[in-house]
Every structure is written in structure tokens, then in C-alpha cells.
Structure 1
Amino acid sequence: MNHILIVSYHFPPAGGVPVRRVLRILRHLPAHGWRCSVLTADRPFDPFHGEDRAGLATLPPAERVLRAPARSGLERALARGFELLSGAGRRVGGEAQGGPAAGPAGAGLRRLLHETLTFPDAKRPWVRGAVALGRAAAREDPFDLVLATGFPWSSFLVADRLRSSLGRPMVLDFRDAWTENPRGLWTGPRNRRLEAELVSRAAAVVVATDWIRDHLRALYPRISPERFVTVTNGYDPAEQPAPDTALRDPHHLVLAYTGTFNDALPPSRFDHTPYYLIEAIRRVPAETRAALRVRLVGRVGPAYRAHVRALGLEDVIEIVPPVAHTRALQYQMAADALVLVVCDAPGSTAVLTAKLVEYVAAGKPILALAPDCEASRVVNAHKLGWVEPPADVERIAKRLEALVQDWRGGTLGGGGLPGVPSLAASVQVERLAEVLRRALASEAPSMTRAETKAPGLRASKE
């Protein structure tokens, strides 16, 4: 069997969306003739996703899990600085309040840092130790190929240095867009040059959405378009726990959201926010509101907890602190419908969140508050539920009224069938296995720095 090294900064006990894609690869890739080892960070710092130690008990088998020091002291200091800049020192009713640094001003400062002090991202300090650990492991049990998944983009640096020193092909996995990311944090010239150089040296580039694939093909026309392949996030029935009937509420229409929200209040267009959903709940007629229960399961900041209390909506909106991934899945299974939120920021058309495929596995209809993007197109194409503009409070409110009416009449529908075959993790990993096979057979030639500045590689320009 071939031996692959998967470079992923995030890995259990780290939790959240970044981990799920790697775990599904680990679970399904061995069936296609691969032994899998993982190179990750020891105690990585992630203020958004936190830990999920329960996930350690259900890890798919791996040859080795190599843990390099995260060295996250600088990142922790910067995170605290952004917390202070965002107004976390201001308190209302004993609660810290979010503020402007989560919006364009904060994004501008982060963009500057990602071109200078934290280039290309704040995870950079782990690169040297990770490369050394990967080289040492290769001497004991050589790798045939290195696959790196990002964000963080520093994982790509680890893979590139191992590619160079080990003489093995490298495959890059873009879970998100880099220089055209909707958050706009990596648009500077250094990041554009680095993306161009790494993409040019990769034997293949795997991406999570067709939009990212098409964007990279257009950005790098001198590279064969066949080198860019979409492997979407996929749902995995093996992850589904037994339902918890205690979470069911037959007396109300239960909507559930699982995940993380930004805490900026009021939000900017860049924020992943519950603001417009909360406003819609506030505006629906009292009899509609009385029939609703909305569960926000995960990281909801103090600004929005205080906002819900101030509006007197605590009986309608239940905020559940972060839970283990399996527990989050049980909350999904216990709901009558699931809420998906995608902000309407530039570049959001690329978004196909991993949350969507988990919702599909739960078998419940989906209320997508999203612009025209990859996620909303999937919901519409497979008749999985309903799509409303993410900031249109009136339309969201009318949709909530209609859902309550359907629920009362016993006709709540919208699809949500637990089987969209093309979104199954096993299908997507089979596609990845074919990409890896081709990468082994025909490694992409390296390009020099001078070549990456050629007109065909426009990422080197501002």
C-alpha cells in the first residue's frame, strides 16, 4: 500500500469544521490502497472552534499521528489584542460586548499582519518543528505523497518543504479560498505570490467547491486545468450517533443551528451572525413566536446573549454552549428543521460549508439564510429546504410564519432526505483517491520564482 502523510494543523482533540474533512479522509482512504499518517500541531490554538476531547474516542485508525509544537504564544497575544480592540473591555449588564474590529476595520488590520508579522497566517511558528518531525518520520517509514489541507496556509509551507527535502509529490487541499477568501484577509502581494508558487509546485490541487476550482483555473491559466479537482465535504453515516429522544419537543416547531457565530453587534456584512434571524423572530406575530423554539448550539458570544435577554426572547431562543461533535449531531437530529447561515460578503459565492452536508445526514429540511452561493444552490438543486436572503428580515420573518403554519398543519416538508449520494464522504474520498493516484503517476514540474511572475500567473500582481 502507498503511504500518505496528511498535514493538518487541526486534529483531535481540536474540534470544529476543520477536523471533520481530515477524519473522513482517514476513515475512507485506506479502502483505496493507502496507509495514512497525520502531521498535526500539539495543543493547537483555535479561539473559534475549541476542543472536542470526546472525538478522541472515535478517531479512525492512522499509521502514526505526529504532533509538532504549535508555538502559539504570538497568536494568543494577537487574539487578546483583537479582543480588546473589538470592545471586549466594554461591558453591558456584566457582559463583554463585541464591536467594530470584527468588521472591515479589524479585517484591514489582520490583512496587514498577514502580509508582515504573521505572514501568511498566525500559525506560522509551527512550521519549522513540523518539517523536522516529518523528515524524521520519513526516515523510519517513507512517505509516497504529502497532502496538506488549509486553512491555515502555513500547512502548505510544511508540505512544500517536505516535498523539496523528501523528493515526493505534494497535493494541496483548499478547504477555503485563499487570496479570494470572502474574509479578504490574504489579498496582499506576498500572499498572492506565495499562493502562485505553491500551486505551481503541487502535483494536484484539491478544492472544496467548484467556485474555488474555477477561480484557480482562471488565475493560473498556464497550469493544466485538470490539475484542479473539486472534492466537496461529504457526510458520513458512520458519524451519526443514536438519537436522544429527550431533546425532542413535540409542542413547538424546533429550529436548530450548530456552530459558531461572530459576536459583532451590530454586524458588518463580513460577519457570520444570528442578528437577522433574531430580528425576524422579534417581528413575527406573537402567536407564531409562541410556537417557535430556536436552539443556537455552539459558540454564541456575550453580545448576542445579552441581546436576546434585552429583547425578552429567552423563552424562544435557547443558547446552548459548545458541545462535543456527537452531541451537536443529536441536536440536529432532534430538530424539526435546521438553520444554515452564510454572510453576503464579497466572495461568498464560493461557500459550501461543511455544516450543510452534516445537515443532509440529519435528514431534516434546511432553512438556508444565504446569498446565491454554492451552498444555496445545493439546497435548491436537491430540494433540501428553503433559501432566503441572509439580511432580509421581512422575508425571513415571513418564512418563519409559513414554517409554523406548515408545522401546525402537519405538512412541514422541504426534503432533507438523508441520502444525496454525491455528497456522501465515501464518494468524495473515492474521487480524492483517484487524484492521488494520478499525482503519484505524474508529478507536476516545479516552477522557479521568475516563472511565477509570468503573465499567466496573475497572482503575483496586485
Structure 2
Amino acid sequence: MRRDEKSAGPAGRRSRLLYLAFFFPPSRASGVFRARATANHFVEAGWDVTVITAPREFFSYYLDRGSDPSLEATVDPRVRVERPPMNTYHWETDVRRFSRFRKALPVVADRFYRRMQSLFLPEHYIGWIPGLLKRAFALHARNRFDLVVATGNPFGSFAAAWLLGRLWRVPYVVDYRDAWTFNQFTEKVRFGPGTRTASWEARVLRDAAEIIFVNDGMRQWYAERYPFAADRMTVVPNGWEPEFVGRPAFQPAVPDRPLRFGYLGTVTPYLPLSVLFEGWRQARTDPLMADAELHIHGHLGFFAQTVESLREQLARHEDAGVRYCGSFSKADVAQVYGETDVLVFCVPGAKYVTSGKVFEYMASGKPVVSVHQPDIAAAEVLQGYPLWFSGDRLDADSVAESFIAAAKAARELDPSRHARAQDHAEKYTRSATLQPWEARMRTLVEESR
């Protein structure tokens, strides 16, 4: 059987997936890579895939520097992408672009907006939902969908999936890239029992055919909170894309050049930057680290108001070899990895945080230094990676020791150890992590017909 025949139903009809993913190319948000990979994987497996996402303007205009145009070209052309209009009331700050109603009666307009939130779901992305529903119903009327999958955040997509699933009588699945009612970085509950958001979450989970999470820590938290849905909760880990990173050949560190350490990813105020830089300064006193440089690749924050403070924080450590190299497109990621000797995995939070970048780091086959709490979910992924360097605590002394050990490994790296590192990473390609889930969804659709 050909791959494109796998999900064919009666008379050869391909199963139709409606995928609700607000953050989708050209968005550069971290969760976009999971969404892009999901759509591509399902269409490659023989599904007819339609994605409903946000308008391009939202990423390029309302989220300053929130767009990476090169990503759109990486979406399989067989994926149908729909971008219905969106109410951007909360995001619009230019009075010249206000509606006539908002210009004439700003107080009334604000009260109306808050009232709509209180009646439905208190989320600022709620303006996306009316257009989403209108487009979804029009598409379904022409050619029936067999499955709805929603990925969050934003979690208005979950509420939309619940509504569509009930009205269309088709199964729906929700994908927790992030936690909804608690903050996975601080581990504090954001919306307790009795709140409108918690009520919506319980409603969505009660009827969902499957609930998936990026790591088992988050799954366990939700299983304890919603035991009635625990048997439908599973884990679909993140992964890495060979088409972006490739499978780099062994490349030793250049002998007559100082070692080059690299962090790739968005720099946010959540990162433990003070510990990172203090540990880096301590490590640089070791002869192995003489003149070593720490290159920071990526955007500074997701919003304009955080850019300058982060830029100033990085600049304070230029005397210690810290270099901010700016952002890079996904098309350039292989080159950045190739020019780096040791990768720095610096992430916030505790046991509920995985991050997608760790999978790419392992695929490079190079030493990885961890700068994070020791019990985060990403540590489970790194277990067994032969070039992982991490202490048992998050402080400057431990980070410095990890930097020095990784520097030694980079200088001594040989083809055999490099190959073992890549073998570990091979278990986490997007194809490897998504295939079991796609197979379950195919069975789910077949049983629901």
C-alpha cells in the first residue's frame, strides 16, 4: 500500500483533517515548528489536510519581528492553508487604524470587548475565533471533515474544536504545546477551579477523543487534575527536522581557533541569563576556555518592549567574549550549527518544560551544555546523549564546570562519539515522534465512520 493510500476511506476517499493552529508559518513562534511538522506529516501519510491559522499581517505587523517568511516555503504544497480575517482590537495601538465605532466611543468599545471575553473565554486571541468558525463551516459544507485537531496556545482553538466536534459529530483532539490553566515555567496555577477558563478546559477534555502533551510531566499534572480524561491522555514529544538540520558529518573543532559556544533560539526574560553569564565568566578562567566566545543567535524577545533591556544585558558581557549575532532564518540553521563547537541549552522553568531546540542540538552530534533546573522534562530527552554536560543544580559553579567539561569534549571529539550522539538523536526525528500518533488518528477515524 502506498503511503498516500494509508488514510483512504470508502471508495478511496482520503480522510480529511481540519487542523486549528494559530501559530503557523510565517510565524516564528517556537510552537510553529510542531504545527508545521504535524501538517506536513499527515499530508505525507495520505490525509487531506486543511490548516486554519491567523492572517499573515498579525505576525508581520502586530507581533513586531514575529514573522520568518522563509518558513512558508517549507509547508508541503498539498496542505491547504486558510487565513480568515481576525478582529485585532486588543492588538491595535495605532489610533488611525481604529474602527469608526472605537474612535467615536472608545470607552463603550472597551466595555463591549471585555464583556465578550467574560461571556466566552478570557483570551486576547478570541478575535480569531469568529472568522475561524465561519471558514470551517463553509469548508465542511463543501467536503466533510473526518477529524479536528487543535493545538494551543492560544486555547480558543480548543474551544472551537469542541464546538465543531459536537456540531459535526466528528472526533476532535487537542494538543497541549503549552499548559492552559497553569504556567509551566513557574508551576503556578493561573486559572483555578470555578473560573470560566477552568470550566472551558474541563468541558473540552471531557469530550476530546485524545489529549496529547509534549512531555509526561505535563500529562501527569493534567491526569491528576482531570482524572475522568486520564485514559485518553498521551505524549507526543517534539522532535527535529532533517530537512532543516541535515545529518551533519563529523567536523572537529578548528585547532588554532578559540572554541565557539552557541545559543540558538529566542532570548527572553524567562531565561536564567544571570547564572549563564556568571558561570561563563568563571569557566573562561580555565586554560581550555581561553578566548572562547559565546555566540547568541536569535531574536530578542517576542515583543518590542523587551528588546532594549535584553540587548543591554548581553552587551554588559561583551568583555567576556559574549557576542550577539542577531536573528537567523530557519534556512540558515544548518550553517549556524556547523560554525559552532559547543551548544548551550539555556531554558527557563522546571519539570514541565521540554523546548524544541534540544532535539536539533542533539542532531548536530556536538557537545551540549545545560543551563537550567536539573529536573526539567528536557533532561529525560538528553539522558543517554553521550555529549551532554549538566550539573545537579542551577548555579554559576555548576554551569562553569559543565562549560569546561564540554570544552574538553569538543577538543577531543572523534567520529565514533559523534556518530553515537547522532544515533541517540535519530529516535526524535519528527517522523519518528509523529508516526505512532498519526496511526492512532487513522484508526480513530476509521472506527468513527
Residue 170 (structure 2) aligns with:
168
User: Match of 2:211, as an amino acid?
Assistant: V
- Residue 391 of structure 2, aligned match among 383, 388, 394: 388
User: Match of 1:420, as an amino acid?
Assistant: A
Within 5 Å, which residues of 2 pair with 1:78-227?
Answer: 119-183=121-185, 184=188, 186-188=190-192, 189-223=195-229, 225-227=230-232
**Percent of matched pairs sharing the same residue:** 25
Quote the offset at 1:280 in angstroms. 1.7
Quote the offset at 1:375 in angstroms. 0.4
Residue 282 (structure 1) aligns with:
281
Q: Spell out, residue by residue over 1:283-316, the C-alpha distance to the aligned partner (whole angstroms, 9 max, x if none).
A: 3354555331111111233223323433442x61
TM-score normalised per structure 2: 0.79
Residue 423 (structure 1) aligns with:
428
Residue 107 (structure 2) aligns with:
none
Deviating 4+ runs (over 6 angstroms): 112-115, 242-245, 411-414
User: Match of 1:166, as an amino acid?
Assistant: W
Root-mean-square deviation over aligned CA pairs? 3.2
* Structure-2 separation of matches of 1:259 and 1:379: 18
Residue 72 (structure 1) aligns with:
88
* Structure-2 separation of matches of 1:62 and 1:215: 37
* Structure-2 separation of matches of 1:281 and 1:114: 49
Quote the offset at 1:200 in angstroms. 0.8
Residue 404 (structure 2) aligns with:
401
Residue 2 (structure 1) aligns with:
15
| Paired residue total | 397
The farther-off stretch of 395-404 and 11-20 is 395-404
Residue 110 (structure 2) aligns with:
none
CA spacing shift, 1:405–1:169, aligned 2, 3 Å: closer
- Residue 324 of structure 1, aligned match among 329, 342, 353: 329
Q: Is the 8 A contact 1:376 1:387 kept in 2?
A: no
Quote the offset at 1:31 in angstroms. 4.2
Q: Is the 8 A contact 1:38 1:62 kept in 2?
A: no
* Structure-2 separation of matches of 1:242 and 1:408: 21
1:70 match: secondary structure: coil
The farther-off stretch of 300-309 and 63-72 is 300-309
CA spacing shift, 1:113–1:272, aligned 2, 3 Å: farther
Within 5 Å, which residues of 2 pair with 1:306-385?
Answer: 306-313=312-319, 316-344=321-349, 348-371=350-373, 372-385=375-388
Quote the offset at 1:113 in angstroms. 12
- Residue 27 of structure 2, aligned match among 3, 7, 14: 14
Q: Is the 8 A contact 2:390 2:402 kept in 1?
A: no
* Structure-2 separation of matches of 1:155 and 1:210: 22
Quote the offset at 1:234 in angstroms. 1.7
Residue 293 (structure 1) aligns with:
293
User: Match of 1:272, as an amino acid?
Assistant: L
User: Match of 1:279, as an amino acid?
Assistant: E
Residue 83 (structure 1) aligns with:
none
* Structure-2 separation of matches of 1:433 and 1:216: 22
Gaps of 5+ in 2: 1-13, 95-113, 301-306
1:222 match: secondary structure: helix
User: Match of 1:136, as an amino acid?
Assistant: A
Gaps of 5+ in 1: 79-111, 264-270, 444-462
Larger RCO: 1 or 2 (CA < 8 Å, sep 6+): 1
* Structure-2 separation of matches of 1:55 and 1:397: 36
Residue 107 (structure 1) aligns with:
none
Residue 263 (structure 2) aligns with:
257
Q: Spell out, residue by residue over 1:403-424, the C-alpha distance to the aligned partner (whole angstroms, 9 max, x if none).
A: 3344455679686325534312
